[in-house]
């Protein structure tokens, strides 16, 4: 047995598995496909609004994944000081009216360093309501103002459990405030959720939304 073959053989266990010393951590070259190297999140689709009334995802929410993550980038209202909202659908987007119960808290700080707070927002939470749920409040329509964040929807295809969600947004408030907002709750239905819509409470919007499946 040559020296190279002997060196390789010494790095394989009796059951045919490479030992940790068999793999150098300095570089990998010449590989075009690396199996099972996913980081656990898969981009399904994306949509971009340009002076649009809303953005709706009517496909992609299936039983393939147990959790779905929406990443929303620079959602900008054409109307000043408006809430950014979402709602769920069980009929493919014909109606967005799932009953929801939610909890909402926010932290904010203004640019002048004169106003700060960490508070529960009882005005914008819901209690068994079919209304659109705010997830960023009072977003300004200035040229540099918008909101960005994420929303995770858990097991939307379940026909056993209610549909939990968690969202976290940062928004540039119309009065020159930074606001970090947290909303969590559930769609109180055991029907499968198969569509979701995002929009501002009034006026049109710009922005991009990405839909990911989480393994």
Give domain limits for the chain. Answer: 32-214
Which is more confident, 6 or 178? 178
Residue 33 has pLDDT above 60, yes or no: no
Average pLDDT over residues 74-100: 98
10: pLDDT confidence band, cut at 50, 70 and 90? confident
- Look over the chain and give the mean of its residue pLDDT values, rounded to a whole number: 90
Average pLDDT over residues 136-160: 97
Residue 181 has pLDDT above 80, yes or no: yes
Residue 78: per-residue pLDDT: 97
Residue 21: per-residue pLDDT: 64
161: pLDDT confidence band, cut at 50, 70 and 90? very high
Residue 62: per-residue pLDDT: 97
Average pLDDT over residues 79-84: 97
Q: Cα–Cα distance between 187 and 42 in angstroms, integer?
A: 24
Which is more confident, 131 or 173? 131
Residue 46 has pLDDT above 70, yes or no: yes
Tell which residue, 199, 196, 151, 152, has the closest CA to residue 49.
199
CATH number, span 32-214: 2.60.120
Residue 2 has pLDDT above 70, yes or no: no
Residue 4: per-residue pLDDT: 66
Residue 23 has pLDDT above 80, yes or no: no
Q: Cα–Cα distance between 151 and 175 in angstroms, integer?
A: 25
Q: Reduce the DSSP state of residue 7 to 3 states and report it.
A: helix
Where do the H-state alpha helices sit in the chain? 3-9
As a three-state string, the secondary structure of 17-50 is CECHHHCCCCCCCCCCCCCCCCCCEEEEEEEEEE
Residue 8: per-residue pLDDT: 66
Residue 178 has pLDDT above 90, yes or no: yes
User: How many helices (H) does the chain have, and how many strands (E)?
Assistant: 1, 12
């Amino acid at each position: 047995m040559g020296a190279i073959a002997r060196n390789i053989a010494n790095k394989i266990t009796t059951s045919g598995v490479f030992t940790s010393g068999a793999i150098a951590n300095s570089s990998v070259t010449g590989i075009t496909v690396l199996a099972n190297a996913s980081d656990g999140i898969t981009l399904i689709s994306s949509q971009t609004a340009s002076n649009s009334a809303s953005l709706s995802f009517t496909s992609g929410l299936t039983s393939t994944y147990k959790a779905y993550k929406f990443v929303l980038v620079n959602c900008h209202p054409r109307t000043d000081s408006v809430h950014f909202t979402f709602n769920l659908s069980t009929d493919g987007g014909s109606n967005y009216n799932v009953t929801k119960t939610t909890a909402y808290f926010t932290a904010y700080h203004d640019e002048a360093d004169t106003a700060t707070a960490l508070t529960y927002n009882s005005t914008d939470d819901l209690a068994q309501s079919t209304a659109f749920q705010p997830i960023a409040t009072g977003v300004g329509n200035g040229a540099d103002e918008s909101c960005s964040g994420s929303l995770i929807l858990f097991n939307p295809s379940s026909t056993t459990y209610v549909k939990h969600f968690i969202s976290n947004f940062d928004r540039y408030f119309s009065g020159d405030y930074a606001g970090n907002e947290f909303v969590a709750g559930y769609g109180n239905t055991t029907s499968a959720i198969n569509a979701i819509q995002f929009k501002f409470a009034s006026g049109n919007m710009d922005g991009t939304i990405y839909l990911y499946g989480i393994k």
